[in-house]
Amino acid sequence: MDPSRPDRILEEWNAVADGARRPSLPPRRVAVRAGSAGLSLAGAGLVAVVLLASAVWLGRPGSTGPGGVVPTGSPSAAIVVTPVPSASPAPTPTPSATPTPTAAPTPTPKPTIGACAPAALAAKITMWEGAAGSRIADVEVTNTGRVACMLEKLERPQLIDGAGRVLIDGSAPTTGGVLELAPGGRATTLVEASNYCGAAPVPPVRVAFILRDGKRFVAAPPTPTDATVPPCNGPGQPAAIGMQPWAR
């Protein structure tokens, strides 16, 4: 409702009241019978005042009609309720499992291979060859043991006869090196002897090998009656014997 409407109504009412002329004679009193439907002038004025006050009251801003109902068209303040988001609890961090350190595998130590025992070595002279006053024996050795062993590539060779007498003695090697022989493994060498001017040997003539620890193994002769020795190239010259390194 227009807020200025009640003021206009009051102004219009005052204008009507001022323009009305008073009667020259006082009004006659009219007796009102009980039960009569008419109203006196005083009663009509009272009704008009009540109606005017009601109109003024209804035209005030914020006034409500009967029953507290807001008249149509009256502005009402809209209350906007903004929902407050509830704070979500922070997720509890899951502790990560500490990885168990993996122990590095311990390498299996390689078994130490020892020197070949003379009892585990079976040697034999497969043949004799002659060249320029020397005799050369082809020798083969086999590891008859159950485990691998290390054979020195160079040994101190000897030429011996059937009675165990040393016919020619070699020199100890000055160089080293070893050769691994697996069980059943074989190696070969050449042994050259020269300038034997001694007494006739007792057959069989054989070749022996002296190890570093003083022990020896002996290569069997090609035949039980073999008496092969190098020829004498001069009584004044020393005899000599030497070997090539063992090889597979």
Using CA atoms, how far apart are residues 4 and 25, in angstroms rounded to an integer?
A: 39
Q: Residue 16: is its pLDDT beyond 90?
A: no
- pLDDT tens string 26-83: 555 544 444 444 444 444 455 454 455 454 444 554 444 444 444 444 444 445 455 5
Closest CA to 197 of 130, 242, 133: 133
From the number of C-beta atoms within 10 Å of its C-beta (0-12, 13-18, 19+), residue 53 rates as: exposed
The residues near 165 (Cβ < 8 Å, ≥ 6 apart) are 201, 202
Q: Both tokens of residue 180?
A: 């691994």
| Contact (Cβ atoms closer than 8 angstroms) between residue 216 and residue 207 | no
Q: Both tokens of residue 87?
A: 């704070």
118-243 is a CATH 1.10.287 domain: no
Burial letters 92-113, b for 16+ CB under 10 A, else e? eeeeeeeeeeeeeeeeeeeeee
How does the average pLDDT of the chain come out, rounded? 78
Distance of alpha carbon 67 from the chain centroid: 80
- Per-residue pLDDT at 77: 45
- pLDDT tens string 111-163: 789 999 999 999 999 999 988 889 999 999 999 999 999 999 999 999 999 99
- pTM, rounded to two decimals: 0.57
Name the maximum alpha-carbon separation found in the chain.
202
How distant, in Å, are the alpha carbons of 16, 58, 75, 135, 158 from that of 13?
5, 17, 28, 167, 163
Strand stretches in the chain, DSSP E: 121-131, 134-143, 149-152, 156-160, 166-169, 178-181, 186-194, 206-210, 216-220, 240-243
- Per-residue pLDDT at 11: 74
The model's confidence at residue 84, banded by pLDDT at 50, 70 and 90, is: low
Using CA atoms, how far apart are residues 179 and 116, in angstroms rounded to an integer?
A: 10
CA atoms within 13 A on the CB side of 34: 0
242 forms beta bridges with: 192
Spans of all domains in the chain: 1-17+41-63, 118-243
Q: How many CB atoms are located within 10 Å of the residue 153 CB?
A: 18
